[in-house]
Amino acid sequence: MTVRDRLLALVVAVCWGINFPVTAIALEHFPPFLLVALRFTLLAVPTVLLVPRPAIPWSRLLLVGATLGMLQFAFLYLGIAAGMPSGLASLVLQASAPFTVVIAGFWLRERITRRQAIGIGIAVVGLVVIAGHRSQVAALLPVVLTLCGALGWAIGNVAVRRAAPPNPMHLTLWMSIVAPVPMLALSFVVEGPARIGESLGSVFTLEALPSVLCLLYLVLIASVVGYGIWTRLLSVYPSATVAPFSMLVPVVGVLASWLAFGEVPDLVELVAGVAVVGGVLYASRVPRARARDGDPEEARVASPEPVPVPETGTAPPGSPLRR
């Protein structure tokens, strides 16, 4: 990669890492389901007007939107709203990687290599340690909700691979049309019209300004800028070259949450988080020697077709973001 493109990849990692404390601030004013609805509404309106629809069946587009859009972010936002520290959320969301590999093995009959199995095992041990530790020192529910968000992301990853969009960026934008109406309906039922009215009615007040600016960050920076740069890099370089930069996302997420909220993960969570990230990174890497020697399977894994991912976390093995 050129120096310029390496810097651009670092910019994406920073944008996506900051996304986690930004989400926590947005949730101080908007309830979780309403925040999901607003986020994707602001993306969906210009998308429908300006972006061509991806040439895939509607059923696959709806499935991607329901999983990557609704399930992932609804559970992630619920987890953070329930007390999940934003920095720790950036680490736990890495569970999407082992989830994706396992789901793809059953759904798409993709072979799990020994390296992937070892990496997944390391990541799972790290996640179990985090969950067990949180259950001792704090509520376990936020961890479970965040893991559900990672599972939704993983199902969406596999749905994207099955959809095989000719233009991944178009699918990334068009999946936003799925979430607004169902999420607004869920918000109306679960969070109630009074809370919705209070959030929207005070949206132009000075107190709401930080949360509104964070909502705009989620839409413009994390989604449009982040995905725009990432998709461009994936169209130029092999996924094995680009993907490791996404491992910086939880690092930035933890640091940004520390600076924003003073969140300092304790030693157990920090070591377990390193195990999660390390396991995902190990599973995603293809040994250069084997690829150069002409191993057809390794060569296939090294350069898969590009597919989009959501802005948070790291894509699992087998995709341009290691999905």
Report the distance separating Cα 273 and Cα 60, nearest Å: 33
For residues 179 and 70, the answer to whether their CB atoms sit within 8 Å is yes
Highest mean pLDDT among 45-59, 119-133, 259-273, 291-305: 45-59
| Domain-located, residue 317 | no
| Domain-located, residue 318 | no
| Domain-located, residue 164 | yes
Kindly give the residue spans of alpha helices, DSSP state H, lying in 93-167: 96-107, 114-137, 141-163
| Domain-located, residue 323 | no
Handedness of CA 4, 7, 13, 16 (dihedral sign): negative
Predicted pLDDT at 264: 78
Highest mean pLDDT among 1-15, 189-203, 225-239: 189-203
Predicted pLDDT at 239: 58
For residues 24 and 227, the answer to whether their CB atoms sit within 8 Å is no
pLDDT above 90 covers what percent of the chain?
38
| Domain-located, residue 258 | yes
Q: What is the DSSP letter of 245?
A: G
**pLDDT greater than 90 at residue 27:** yes
**pLDDT greater than 70 at residue 38:** yes
Backbone angles phi, psi at 109, to 5 degrees: 60, 35
Kindly state the average pLDDT of the residues 216-236.
85
Tokens of 180: 């607004």
Report the distance separating Cα 85 and Cα 69, nearest Å: 21
**pLDDT greater than 90 at residue 247:** no
Print the domain residue range for 98. 3-302
| Domain-located, residue 129 | yes
Kindly state the average pLDDT of the residues 231-259.
77
**pLDDT greater than 90 at residue 61:** yes
| Domain-located, residue 309 | no
Report the distance separating Cα 178 and Cα 181, nearest Å: 7
Q: What total of structural domains would you count in the chain? A: 1
Tokens of 215: 């909502």
Q: pLDDT averaged over the chain?
A: 82
The candidate with the shortest Cα–Cα distance to 308, out of 119, 200, 189, 159, is 159
- How confident is residue 17, by pLDDT bands cut at 50, 70 and 90? very high
Q: What pTM value is reported for the model?
A: 0.81
- Beta-carbon contacts of residue 181 (< 8 Å; ≥ 6 apart): none
Predicted pLDDT at 300: 42
